[in-house]
Amino acid sequence: MLTKSPQTSRSWLLPLILLLFSFTLRIFLISKGPYHVDCLALAINAQRTYTDHTLHYQFGIGYPLTVLAGTLFIGLTNLFAIYDPIFAVNLMSVWLSSFCVLILYLFLRNILNDLSAFLGAAALSLHPIFLPLSVYGNSHVVSLFFFLLSLYVLTHPQIKYKNILFSLSLGFMGAARLQDMALILIPTGILWFKTQRDFQLKTFLNCFISAIVIALSFHLPYLSGNGQLNYTSQLQNFFMLGLTSNFSGIISPYLPRSLGIIFFTTTYVSSAIAGFGLFRIYQTGPYLGVFLTAWFLCPLMFYGNVQTLVPRFLLIVTVPVIIAAAYGFHLLLMTKSSLQKIVVGAIFILMLALPLATNILPILQFRHTHALLPDWATFIGKHTEPNAKIIVGDEELFVMYYGKRKTLERDLNSFEGKPAEFVQFKDGLSAALDNNIPLYITESALYTSDPAQGFLNYIRNNYRLEPRGTQRIENWHGGEMQLEVLPDSLYRIYRN
């Protein structure tokens, strides 16, 4: 371990200020609605869990503890007569992300020093990947909270029942995002080994096997009852998507793009200082350097080679860069030269403030005052008949929840290579019209993911489209750091 600050300097005033600042910033930027479809799904499943006391399945690997955390916040907000599940899960991210900042400070104070802890916590609080995730409900923030908590417990010299609390925290991380837990087991094992005065293999295995068992136990409700087949099927699809069709191997052309996202969002100057900080960490405490390197590389080798990567997946990779940069800035500030202190301090402040002011803050302010997809879905509900069916793409859940309309989902790959599914879709479309069910389609469903225009040509050649209105929507696919507002239109479908 590196040299730590004296015990007498460990005031709670500074961490409490960091917590208060982080929470205040986030509560004033909290998203008005569900920015992302995953947020809406989380709110719906958490509300169902709260209502019927049965754990509801999210998607993929289920994210059971994320759903339960959302359920807890729904219960807490209900105590204050706030009955909006969207606000509840958004508030969940506001609170847990603020505590992430606090816990990172305490963890870094355990392994580094007070100044590095403050710089690292401040950098995480305002980081362009982390801050946008902090204002709407998602699993990344829940997962990071429990991971940082496990690291704090592991490195605190005086916590009782350390191994039990460590296993619980790490297991809860896996219950929130099992894939992230799997990717950080190796680096966490390295740090665990370093913190032990007397290494015993049995204790090591007990800690990590217990954590895995705790994580998997949260999934048991998904493996029983009527949801078992759906969970198994979704898990298989998730596995195939992650490791076959969407994953391009340990080294791929996508890796430089991922590294670019990390270094750009951390800023290139801070990334260079992180390299300097990591080098000095290796000189002072090689085990800590190995831990941070493994923490960076293990999840990067997976997420960095995913074809459909968006920045939020790299949050877990970015934190060790922030830690190394914080130590690098600390070293540069530990000088007798007042001029150097002023210059380095100004650089640190600029590295935090410029991305926030020029890009992230305007985007989050927009989402704080606008909820375009819910507004669009509500518009569809107001301008269609109660028994209407809407052909949609990725906005299906919004139309069902806010528009109160049934949907007829089109395949986003235009049914290419899937003639049986195309026939089934056409039969469903014809059946609806034969039974006098009003049929509508959104412009995004008409044009999106149709490079060969097979779907578009089929609709145009066989049906007549009557425009019924246009509104703005926000496209979430590019990630939280981008604001892409587009017009979308609604059409009534008639036979030619």
**Mean pLDDT of the 92-116 span:** 97
Residue 242 corresponds to which amino acid? Answer: G
pTM: 0.92
* Cα separation, 93 vs 22, whole angstroms: 12
Residue 9 has pLDDT above 90, yes or no: no
- Reply yes or no on whether the pLDDT at 419 is more than 90: no
61 has pLDDT over 60: yes
Mean pLDDT (whole number) for 383-401? 93
Residue 413's pLDDT is 60
Q: Using the predicted structure, report yes or no on whether residue 2 has a pLDDT greater than 50.
A: no
- What is the CB-side half-sphere exposure of residue 488 using CA atoms within 13 A? 27
Q: What pLDDT is attached to residue 276?
A: 97
- Cβ 447 vs Cβ 461: under 8 Å: no
pLDDT, greater one: 145 or 197: 145
CA 272 to chain centre: 26
Average pLDDT for residues 9-23, to the nearest whole number? 87
**More confident site: 433 or 148:** 148
Question: What radius of gyration, in Å, describes the C-alpha atoms of the chain?
Answer: 25
414 compared with 488, residue with greater pLDDT: 488
Residue 131, SS3 per DSSP: helix
Which of 221-225, 230-234, 243-247, 331-335 is the most confident on average? Answer: 331-335
First-to-final CA distance of the chain: 75
The stretch 287-303 carries a mean pLDDT of: 94
**232 vs 245: CA distance, rounded Å:** 18
The mean pLDDT of 47-69, rounded to a whole number, is 92
Consecutive H or E run containing 460: helix 454-462
| pLDDT at res. 401 | 96
Mean pLDDT lowest among 74-78, 156-160, 399-403? 156-160
Predicted local distance difference test score (pLDDT) of residue 7: 46
Cβ neighbours of 284 (radius 10 Å): 13
3-state secondary structure 276-317: HHHHHHHHHCHHHHHHHHHHHHHHHHHHCCECCCCHHHHHHH
pLDDT tens by residue, 445-466: 888 777 677 788 888 888 999 9
From the list 361, 445, 476, the residue with the least C-alpha distance to 38 is 476
| Residue 423: band (very low, low, confident or very high) from pLDDT cuts 50, 70, 90 | confident
pLDDT band for position 249 (cuts 50, 70, 90): confident
Q: If you average pLDDT over residues 144-170, what whole number do you get?
A: 94
Report CA torsion sign: 400, 403, 404, 410: negative
What's the mean pLDDT when you consider all of the chain? 90
Q: So what's the pLDDT on residue 59?
A: 82
- The yes-or-no verdict on residue 164 having pLDDT over 90 is yes
Residue 230 has pLDDT above 80, yes or no: no
Asked if residue 403 lies in contact with residue 388, where contact means CB atoms within 8 angstroms, the answer is no
In this prediction, residue 456 carries a pLDDT of: 85
pLDDT at 6 over 80: no
Amino acid at 108: L
Q: 185-211: per-residue pLDDT in tens?
A: 999 999 998 888 777 888 999 999 999
